[in-house]
Every structure is written in C-alpha cells, then in structure tokens.
Amino acid sequence: MNMPDSPVINSMRVVPVAGYDSMLLNIGGAHNCHFTRILVIIGDSAGNSGVGECPCHASTLSLLEKFTPQVVGSSLRQMNATVSRLFASDARQQTSEQTDRVHIPQMNPEKFYNAAAAIEAALLDLLGKHLELPVADLLASGRQRDRIPVLGYLFYIADRKLTTMNYQSGEQQRAPWFWLRHQPAMDHQAVVRLAEAAQEHYGFRDFKLKGGVHPGEYEVETVEALLARFPTARITVDPNASWSLDEAIGFGKQLAGRVPYLEDPCGAEQGFSGRETLAEFRRATGIPVATNMIANDWRQLQHALQLNAIDIPLADPHFWTLRNAHTVAQLCHEWGLTTGCHSNNHFDVSLAMVAHLGAAAPGDRITAFDTHWIWQDGQHLTHQPPQIRDGYLELPAGPGLGIELDMTRVEAAHALYQSLPDKNRNDALGMQFLIDNWQYNAKRPALVRP
C-alpha cells in the first residue's frame, strides 16, 4: 500500500505571551493585572503551522526548550512516538543525561504536562491540516457535536483603584459586560449584576461562582441570590477546598436539591486526604462532587474513584493533554460519571482546544465546561476566535484546531510579556494592597484573616 509522504517537523517556536486580567479574587489572592501563557508554534515541511497553548511558568518554558530537539526533525505521521518520547523523558529523568543527552531536571508533574500538552495540541493541529480533518475527528471518539455548553464563570472582584497596578478600566462603548468585568463586585447584588451582563452577552444557562474569598456562609448567600435571580439556571460554587468537612456538609445540606454539584467543597484535614473528605461529603449530602484538585493525574483519579469521592473529574487539555483528557471523557461515559473541564485564564488558542475536547466527548453526561474566556474576550491572538453564543462554545470551522494566528497580535502579546518584571503567576501581590502582609492559607478564604 502506498502511503503519501508525511511532512517533517522543521521548526518549533516557544512564545511566552501576556494579556490583561481583572482583579478577580480566589483563595490564592487576587489575579494580577497581567496573566501569562505560552504558545508553541510548530512548522512542517508542507508549509503548515500548528499551535498549542498552556499556562506559563519559567520551568515550563525551560522544559519546552529542552523538548524542542526531540520534536524538530520528527515525522508528523509518527506524532504518537514523538509525544511518547516526551513522556519517556519524564519517566527516566534521573538518567536522561546518560541515555539521550537531554538533561531534564527534577520535574514538577503539572509543569511537565503543561509543556507536553502544548506540543501535542500543536501536532494535532498540524495533523488535522495535513489530513483535512478537525482535531475533534482525530480524537478517539470522533466528533460528537458542533457546539458545547459552557458556563458563566463568576468572581468577586476587588477594587483595582486601591492598587498601583496596571489593571484596565473597562470599555463603555460595548455591551455592559465589558465595563462591569473591571469594576468592584464584592457583594451579592454586584455578582448578580455580573451574571446578568454575562447572560445578556453570551446567553449562559449555567453559572459557577469562584468561592474561597468570603466566609462560606456569605458565599452560600451569593449562590442563593443567583438562584433567586435565575431560577432555571444551574448554579454552583467552587470554594477551592477552603471549607472544613463539617462546614461543607452544613452548606451542602442547605443547598441540596438546588445545585447540580459542588466543586471541591472541602479538602485534606486532620490526617485525612482530600479524597477521603470528599467521599464523606458525598455520603452525607448526596450532592455530586466535581474536582480539579484531587484527581489531576491517572494515579489520583484511580484513588478518587475507588473511594467514590467524585462524580465529575474536570480534566482539561492543559493539565492532562488533549488526548488524555479525552480518555477521561471516555471513562466518564463508560462508567456513568459526568464529563467536565477545568479552566484558568487563557487566550483563544486554549478556547479552541477546549472546543475540540468537548466536541469529541462521548455521550450525554456532559456538564457545562469552565472557561475564563469571558474575562479575556477582546484580547484574541487569532484572526477569528471561537465564539460563545446562546451559552454554547461553537466548534471552529476548518481543519486542525480551525484557527489561524494573528502574528501581529502574538508579537504584541510577547512584547508585553517581556516587559513584565514578575513573569510567574503570583496572586499574593494584589492582595497586599487589600490586607497588609497577606499570605496564602489553603484552609482560610482569602478575606478571612485574624
């Protein structure tokens, strides 16, 4: 059988980029006025280019630079082997310098997966263009749908004017959302107004409140205010495990029957793991549990499922890779779990990656995917970014990821990154303007201090 010649990878460019963010509060503090990401742009001998995006950290950049020689020169047809070599490097990190002269220092597993995910996405984008197929068709289940439900991700927003940081002031010439997302929203009414503006512009049917900011009682009141305003919406809260098990059970019983699930309501405490406490929470309340904290790799997922601790693993394409996250979706379908997807602040390349993951997820047990895009909307790095309409993220048309980089915008975002004095994420910086000597505490909401 004659096989067509396969393109060869002839370039791989690693481009750290930055954009602007609002002063969004979470258990880790306040989002910086800037957020950073990494684009991996891979070119082949057929003249095509593919792109992937992942979170940015100095160690991730270092890994990507070290992985470049393993990608350049490889055959696109053999992308499975190429990606497998990256994972083999992880497994043999202690002896890699002797075995293949690629020295990879002690790896943070999260940063390794971020790097591998960006490379894999770029290769899938290239392969899709070569075969004239969308990435969703290249994932094991194939394309199941052309749009996926996404939720309105709501935050409490601190007052940027209390800082000397370069937060944006908002746009008054567009829909109300683009102004409100930069204004303080610290109480129930302001969060409800945010939700109204987000629904008006994007059509959301689902909302999630990022908790871990106020005392749990106050955040439950915010959820109840949202439920009163949007009686047909599916609304939940993610306190990032800042509630104790006893608190979580109490709040859960208060919300039982009115929320579709709770995300990481409690975590490790008193010698018990987060998987154990979440299992106890589920038994005590009957509320389904979503997580992106205690089932973030195959070993963690195995233990979480053995303990019946979770119902919705939020496996996103940046912390699992696209194909691994799709495998999680397949397991959810076969085992009666619900497919979901975690998000952090991102550009539109990531939005396309999420769209293809959701489009290929099998079955009907899919909860609305997370996305921060509504907070970054307008800062696109592609010519035609994916769109959220009527509460759904639409799959881009065209082969591969269906997007084309706008290199003028990419270079501007790279220049902004280069100008930043602190390039790694640090949500404590903004909090210092609100609370003197503020420090992160995994078991204490951000504004709850002695």
Annotated catalytic residue, options 34, 342, 356, 380:
342
Q: List Cβ neighbours of 377 (8 Å cut-off, separation of 6 or more).
A: 178
**Rounded Cα distance, 150 and 340, in Å:** 10
CA angle 207, 213, 215 (to 5 degrees): 105
Q: How many CA atoms does the CB half-sphere of 294 hold within 13 Å?
A: 29
Inter-CA distances, 41 with 11, 44, 249, 419, 445, Å = 8, 10, 46, 21, 39
For residue 210, indicate whether it is catalytic: yes
Pairing of strands 234-238, 206-210: parallel
DSSP 433: T
Residue ranges of the alpha helices (H) in 271-406? 274-285, 298-306, 322-335, 348-360, 373-376
- Using an 8 Å Cβ cutoff, are 234 and 366 in contact? no
DSSP 261: -
For residue 253, indicate whether it is catalytic: no
**Rounded Cα distance, 440 and 214, in Å:** 14
Annotated catalytic residue, options 31, 34, 210, 380:
210
110 is an annotated ligand-binding site residue: no
292 is an annotated ligand-binding site residue: yes
Residue 22 neighbours by CB distance under 10 Å:
24
Of 9, 138, 143, the residue nearest 75 (C-alpha): 9
247 is an annotated ligand-binding site residue: no
Inter-CA distances, 61 with 13, 39, 68, 171, Å = 11, 10, 11, 33
CA angle 355, 230, 237 (to 5 degrees): 60
The H or E element that residue 51 is part of is strand 49-55
Longest dimension (CA), the chain: 73
Pairing of strands 289-291, 262-263: parallel
Q: Any idea which residues carry the catalytic annotation? A: 210, 342
- Per the annotation, binding residues for Mg(2+) are 238, 269, 292
